[in-house]
Structure formats: C-alpha cells, structure tokens
C-alpha cells in the first residue's frame, strides 16, 4: 500500500510539471497573438491617419511640373498664399475628405462647394452663368471663375479678394469686357460703359465702397436674364433695385405719374433706365447730360418736344445755353405729376412759384404764357392757329406777288434787250438838206 501511494504521488508530480509547461506555452502563444494584433492595429491606424496640412504642403508647396501647372486649379499650393486664405482655417481635409493617407489616388475626387455653400449653390443653379457653364462641361466648380483659386481665396471683405467691391468690376470685366464673349452671348461691352459712368468713377476714382457695383444691381449668385420677371433688372423691378441706394428718389418716382403708370402695368411707362440708361449713367449736373434731357423726354413725348422747340426756351437750348428752362425745370425730375394734380409744379396755382425760380416776380398774367404752343392744333390754340394761318397766307401772298413781279420784270428786260439789238446805230450829226429853217 505504501509503495502504491508513493507511485501515485510521483505520477501526480509529473502531471503537474507537464501542466506548468503547457500553461507557459499557452501564455507565450497568447502573448504572441496579442502582440501581432497590436502591431496590425498600429499599422492600420498608421495607414488611416488623417494627414495634416503640413503633411500636404510638404509636397504641394513644391513647384509642380509645367503640365500640372497648366491645370485650371494647379496642384501647386503656395503656403504663403494659402495661410491667410479663408479656407486655411478649415484644413485640407475639409474639402478633400476622400484623401486619408499618402500616396493618394490621382486624379482625386472633384471638390463640391455645395458642402458648405449650399444656399449659394442653389441660387447659382438657375442663373444665366450656370446655363453658360453647363456648355463648358468643366470638372472644376464654376465658383472659381469669379472667386479665384480656392487655395488663395479671400473673404469678400478682404481688399485682396476678387469679389471685394473695388475689385469686382475688374473680375466681371474678364468676361463682360471681352469682345469675343460679348459677341457670342450678344451683350455689349458693359465693362467699359460702367467704368465711364458715375458709379464707376465713384468706385474707382473716389474709392467709395457704397457706390453701385455689378452685384448691387444684378445680384451675386442668382443673376437672371433681364427678361425674367424674377430678375433684379427686369423692367418692373428696376425701381426697387435702384431704390436700394436711391430710396428717396424711389419714393418720389412711385408717387409720380411715371411710377403710377408703371405699377398700373402700362408697358410704355418709363423706369429709371429709360432716362438714365443702365450702365452708362452720367452725373446729372453735367452740361452735356442736361442738354440731352429734352431729347430723352421727347422719346415718349414727341408732340411736346416739337412744340417746346418752337419756343424761346427750346431755341436757346438748341444753341447750347444751359441757363434756360427744360422739361425737368418745370415738371420736376422724379415727382412728376399731372397738371390737374394740386401738388403738381405745373398746376395753375403753382405756376407763379415754378416760373418764379427763373423769372422773379412772376405774376398770374405772366404765367398765362403757353409753354407748348401748337399752331397746328385749332382746338387747343384757336387764336394761335388762325394767327399762324393768316401769317402763312400773307407770307405766301407776298412771295407770289413779288415772284410774279420779278418774273414780269425779267421778261420786260429781255424784250427790251432784244429790241435794242435790232435798231440801226444812231449817227453823231444830222446832214444839212439845204432848207432854211
């Protein structure tokens, strides 16, 4: 029994030794597996690590080949230009979200500006620029045409931005000042017209940021054709567009006869651009513009223009004199009312004050003068009609009488000249016939 128990104890110690060895081997295997998994995780993490801006610029800040530089958006990113840009604070991966490691695929997925600028993208989608852009089928966003390189793009309030008010006309002028593009799409060289206008001078010469730019009238992204009723430059929307800056003028215009007719839907009612044009807007106190206002009003009021030119005011205006009455001198500029309106400057009760601006001390008798006399309208001016008829008949009679008299005088002179040619020459002394007388 004792011998058997010793044998069992010996065999137990052997099993226990094998168990420890097996456990040690198992621990070693588990440790190896854990280390392998940790290494794999580290490798995977390294491969999916988001690249920093410095990582990107370490390659893209190097000068690229001529082929890559020729792209519309070059792969070369100037770090000095990129750092102060509006996109620098977002980081490269904000736009290039599909790039996680180096090397990255080439070409990379095109960037969509709509991810951040959804409202601007939606507004642009229906604009005239979007229609033209779809013809190009470019893989680069149309936004870059106006805002420039995305890696150097500045905020619109930055003086270095392409869309900063002082720079915006030049940006728009790259297309709207190009004769080939203008011919293709059928619009005039509006850039040159704008630069010569009062708005262009105020912006470029005086540096006034409040001066109207292209975006002030046409909008920024949702630029529509002027034929579109939703366009800011559609005929019926022009007063509101101009009123964004000229609020007082808009109030007067809408209260006047022209504004009332426009709101009533009359197609021939004038709006701001009919008198001031669209792009070549001249300062109103310039002599050349003031002399042309009569013809401008005459585009609609043809009969009034004809009768005005027969008056003293009209004749001295034709001679180039500025200090004389023209249409707006009597009727006003924007608050133009009918003569039947008691507030009109040409209402009978207000005529002494209106005429008195030039003719001091004008009386009721003085203002009875007809400013638009029409000698051909018997109903409107019967006395003038018959007086003009009498003077015309008198003038015609005088010309007929003296014309007939001159013709008869000429005929008599020719007859006398013919008879004188047939007479014998007269002798100088008579012969003596021997008869005493």
Q: Which of 218, 110, 111, 107 is CA-nearest to residue 169?
A: 218
Burial 375-413, CB ≥16 within 10 A → b, else e: beeeeebeebbeebeeeeeeeeeeeeeeeeeeeeeeeee
- The reported pLDDT for the residue numbered 43 is 47
**pLDDT value for 42:** 54
- Say whether 142 sits in a helix, a strand or coil: coil
- Cis bond leading into 284, ω under 30°? no
**Percent of the chain scored above 90 by pLDDT?**
46
- The predicted-structure confidence for 328-366, as pLDDT tens digits, reads as follows 999 999 999 999 999 999 999 999 999 999 999 888 889
d(CA 120, CA 219): 11
The pTM of this model reads: 0.72
* pLDDT 10s digits, 120-169: 999 999 999 998 888 776 667 789 989 998 999 999 999 999 999 999 99
Residue at token pair 């106006």: 146
What are the CA-CA distances from residue 392 to residues 171, 310, 314 (Å)? 63, 16, 22
**Distance from C-alpha of 252 to C-alpha of 419, rounded to nearest angstrom:** 82
Phi and psi of 416, rounded to 5°? -60, -35
Closest CA to 216 of 173, 251, 169: 169
Contact indicator for 194, 279 with CB cutoff of 8 Å: yes
Let me know: does 255 contact 344? Beta carbons within 8 Å. Answer: no
Does residue 24 sit in helix, strand or coil? helix
Residue with the bigger pLDDT between 223 and 385: it is 223
């Amino acid at each position: 029994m004792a011998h058997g128990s010793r044998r069992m104890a010996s065999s137990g110690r052997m099993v226990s030794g094998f168990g420890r060895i097996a456990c040690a081997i198992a621990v070693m295997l588990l440790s190896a597996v854990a280390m392998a998994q940790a290494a794999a995780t580290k490798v995977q993490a390294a491969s999916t690590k988001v690249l920093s801006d410095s990582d990107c610029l370490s390659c893209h800040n190097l000068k690229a080949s001529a082929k890559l530089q020729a792209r519309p958006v070059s792969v070369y990113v100037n770090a000095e230009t990129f750092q102060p840009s509006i996109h620098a604070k977002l980081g490269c991966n904000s736009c290039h979200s599909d790039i996680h490691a180096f090397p990255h695929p080439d070409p990379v997925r095109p960037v969509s500006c709509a991810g951040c600028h959804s409202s601007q993208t939606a507004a642009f989608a229906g604009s005239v620029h979007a229609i033209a852009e779809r013809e190009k089928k470019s893989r680069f966003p149309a936004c870059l045409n106006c805002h420039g390189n995305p890696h150097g793009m500045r905020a619109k309030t930055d003086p270095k931005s392409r869309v900063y008010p002082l720079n915006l006309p030049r940006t728009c002028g790259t297309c709207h000042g190009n004769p080939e593009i203008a011919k293709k799409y059928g619009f005039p060289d509006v850039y040159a017209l704008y630069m010569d206008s009062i708005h262009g001078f105020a912006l470029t010469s005086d540096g006034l940021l409040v001066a109207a730019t292209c975006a002030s009238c046409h909008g920024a992204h949702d630029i529509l054709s002027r034929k579109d009723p939703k366009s800011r430059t559609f005929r019926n929307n022009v007063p509101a567009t101009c009123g964004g800056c000229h609020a007082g003028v808009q109030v007067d215009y809408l209260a006047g006869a022209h504004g009332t007719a426009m709101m009533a839907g009359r197609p021939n009612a004038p709006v701001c651009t009919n008198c001031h044009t669209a792009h070549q807007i001249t300062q109103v106190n310039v002599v050349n513009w003031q002399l042309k206002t009569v013809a401008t009003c005459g585009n609609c009021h043809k009969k009034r223009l004809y009768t005005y030119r027969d008056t003293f005011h009209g004749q001295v205006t034709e001679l180039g004199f500025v200090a004389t009455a023209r249409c707006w001198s009597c009727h006003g500029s924007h608050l133009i009312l009918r003569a039947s309106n008691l507030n009109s400057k040409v209402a009978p009760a207000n005529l002494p004050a209106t005429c008195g601006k030039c003719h001091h001390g004008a009386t009721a008798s003085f203002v009875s003068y007809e400013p638009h006399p029409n000698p051909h309208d018997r109903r409107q001016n019967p006395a003038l009609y018959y007086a003009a008829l009498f003077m015309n008949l008198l003038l015609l009679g005088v010309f007929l009488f003296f014309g007939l008299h001159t013709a008869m005088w000429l005929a008599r002179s020719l007859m006398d000249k013919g008879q004188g040619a047939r007479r014998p020459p007269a002798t100088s002394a008579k012969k003596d016939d021997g008869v005493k007388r």
